[in-house]
Structure 1
Amino acid sequence: MEFKPILPFEPIVTDDMPRGSTWISQIKWDGVRMLTYYDGNEVKLINRRLNERTSQYPELTNISAYCSAKSVILDGEIIALDEGRPSFYQVMRRDGIKKQQNIERAVKQIPITYMIFDILYCDGDWVLEKSLEMRQHLLRKIITPSMAVQLVDNYPESENLLEVMRQHQMEGIVLKDLSSSYSIGGKDQRWQKKKVFKDLNAAVGGVTFRGKTVNSLILGLYDDDGRFWYIGHAGSGKLSVQDWREVTAVVPALQMQSRPFENLPERWKGAVWLKPALTVKVQYLEWTPHQTLRHPTIQAFVSFPPDSCTFRLARET
């Protein structure tokens, strides 16, 4: 059979730790959510936005090397490490490559690991209604861990794991009820996430320059009425010198005479206004009372529709 891509089950944001004997916690890996589909003949990798990424990760297409199932749908996250920690910037470098020769080079330069945490289908049967505990047991039977493939571990002490994430400056934890079934396209309290660092996708509505090169992005989000609002400047983060050069090169094609924002950004003098066509993942500490981001840093450019960068979605992530 040929699988139709599905939307994965998502955790909700929480401030409180759920209590009870059925709850476990897992590391929240700062990577790319990816479902692996194998119908017995062909392997496909498809992300949470239903975009295929099979060619970008050739080390995962030989599924018999790590999975004994004759047909399967796996759920997990692809990560890339930088100095021993997951780096969203590095994994996005892999995720955005299109040319075959560049992919072959990147396999060696940016190794990835597929962190598998769930299974939806196995050997001709859907296992969605089985408990998470039973699905994890099934994963342990069919998955052979390797350098490129790992099973995500469970931890009983959520507070302790969260503190370890703080100490290592990692994103946070996911809390799951072991009795929970898997809800395709669902998002409810049976899976929850608690972050050390918050993040969101923002559209770029302007830039500032240092000399002839862009050195800061002016960020915005859309409200429910489609109006675009300034939420902060970001110039620090993980972009390389080459990334800033590439941003500088596209400015002339996106430049606007008037600002795209409803509100006037702070430090707007010298700004060059842009049509909101670029999207970045931004990490930040918190929202200010003026609805701007405190200490935003750029993690990477992402292939996310700029007009989908909304306050509503930002509050949910």
Structure 2
Amino acid sequence: MSGAQEMIRKMGEVCVEPKYDGVRCQIHFSKLPNAKFRVQSYSRNLENTTDMWPELSSIGRQIRADAVILDSEAVGIDPETGRTIPFQETTTRKRKHDIDLFSSQVPVRFYVFDILYKDGSELIKKPLRDRRKILEGTVRPGETLVVTPHIITKSVRSLTGFHHVQLKAGFEGAMVKKWDSQYEPGRRGYNWVKFKETEGKTGKLTDTIDSVVMGYYLGKGKRTGFGIGAFLAGIRSGDGFVTVTKVGTGVSDELWKELHRRIGAFRSHVQPKHYRKVPKQLVPDVWAEPRLVVEIAGDDLTRSPLHGAGFAVRFPRLVRIRTDKSPHQATSVDEVARMYRNQGNGNR
């Protein structure tokens, strides 16, 4: 069963938007006296990121409201080609001291996909169809804020066609949202689903998995110099984490070095108490506290008596480090089970 068929069957009428490779950004805007305004931004983890985005200082002329809270994806734009740039390049702003200089080299556009609050009214419990109408009446066209394009459909063919158009445009695929769904803070849940083309580029699964790095294995050969040759990945299970795969491919030399550096800050001499059901044959050379989240893809999911999740990712590849996500936002066992069933394995 294809991902598109499953989405339409379970969700009915859906709103389909491009899936951007960016940084989640919640924008808080309020007008002040004397034609001034205040704007602040927050990450997915509610970290104040206002200083990262000097572009937001120009959005006053685009807002038709006294006070709003918008949800958006901050996406870096190549000034020469006008095309979007990879997530990892956008997030380097967090490590840059001269953000104003960096913003001139890699300007950012904010693709706004939802509105949570407007002029004293909380909107999160309103259905998406209503929020979308309010959003389009609130944000004027401009260069900094762009309301995400979308289609409304019940058709598998239309959904698949839109998805392929986004891939050709250089985006990650599509976001599929139940048209009458409420806004769900934190995780997307079953009303917001990623439809990503992973075959060839990152794998064959129709979605990726956000996993926690539980530890790593020492490298051999060329990777001896990196200090790491593979890592153990886990997903959420209750208030703990269980293994789902061991990743040793799909990682550039520079990314191996960055992984080793980041994991080094969270190394543990013993197995962290939050880790469950780790068999001896998977115990890493170095344990790590559950702090670093990475996005992985693979060919498919299989039942696994070895991994604590009960499933394993076959031919896993590292897509990127998710500095914008906390361990509690990692994919859960229930979500992986749903992905497995969506492959058409529900009775196996």
- Common fold, TM-score beyond 0.5? yes
Within the candidate set 283, 288, 302, 2:302 is matched to 288
**2:88 is matched by which residue type in structure 1?**
Y
Q: Which whole-Å deviations, capped at 9, do the CAs of 1:111-157 have from their partners, x for residues lacking one?
A: 22110112222233334455534433333333233333211111242
Q: 1:144 aligned to 2:164?
A: no
Unmatched tracts of structure 1, length 5 or more: 1-12
SS in 1 for 2:132: helix
Alpha-carbon spacing, 1:39–1:240, altered in 2? closer, same or farther (3 Å): farther
Equivalent position amino acid for 2:319 in 1: I
After the TM superposition, which residues 30-179 of structure 1 pair with which residues of structure 2 at under 5 Å, given as runs?
30-41=21-32, 42-81=38-77, 84-85=83-84, 87-94=86-93, 96-97=94-95, 101-128=97-124, 131-156=127-152, 157-167=158-168, 170-179=171-180
TM-score, scaled relative to structure 1 = 0.74
Q: CA deviation at 1:312?
A: 2.9
Task: Determine whether 1:297 maps to 2:288.
Answer: no
Q: CA deviation at 1:303?
A: 5.2
Residue 236 of structure 1 aligns to a residue whose secondary structure is coil
Match of 1:3 in 2: none
Q: Aligned partners of 1:308 and 1:192: how far apart in 2?
A: 15
Could you tell me which amino acid in structure 2 is paired with residue 162 of structure 1? H
Alignment partners' CA distance in 2, 1:65 and 1:14 = 42
How is 1:274-285 mapped onto 2 (pairs within 5 angstroms)? 274-276=287-289, 278-285=291-298
Identity %: 21
* Aligned mate of 2:215, from 205, 210, 231: 205
Structure 1 residue 165: Cα displacement: 4.1
The question of 1:263 aligning with 2:264 is answered no
- Report deviation, 1:251: 6.4
> Could you state the TM-score of these two structures normalised by the residue count of structure 2?
0.68
Q: What amino acid does structure 1 have at the position aligned with 2:176?
A: L
Cα 1:245–1:277 change in 2 (3 A) is same
Preserved CA contact (<8 Å) 1:223 1:229: no
Q: What are the ranges of 5 or more consecutive residues in structure 2 without an aligned counterpart?
A: 33-37, 153-157, 199-206, 305-310, 340-348
8 Å Cα contact 1:38/1:71 also seen in 2: yes
Is 126-135 or 250-259 further displaced after alignment? Answer: 250-259
Query: What is the aligned length?
Result: 297
Q: After the TM superposition, which residues 2-21 of structure 1 pair with which residues of structure 2 at under 5 Å, given as runs?
A: 15-18=6-9
The one-letter code matched in structure 1 to 2:247 is H
- RMSD (Å), alpha carbons: 3.8
Which amino acid is the alignment partner of residue 73 of structure 1?
I
Equivalent in the alignment of 1:273: 286
Match of 2:231 among 197, 203, 218: 218
Contact 2:293 2:330 in 1 (8 A): no
Q: Deviations over 1:164-185 (max 9, x none)?
A: 3455674332233445554566
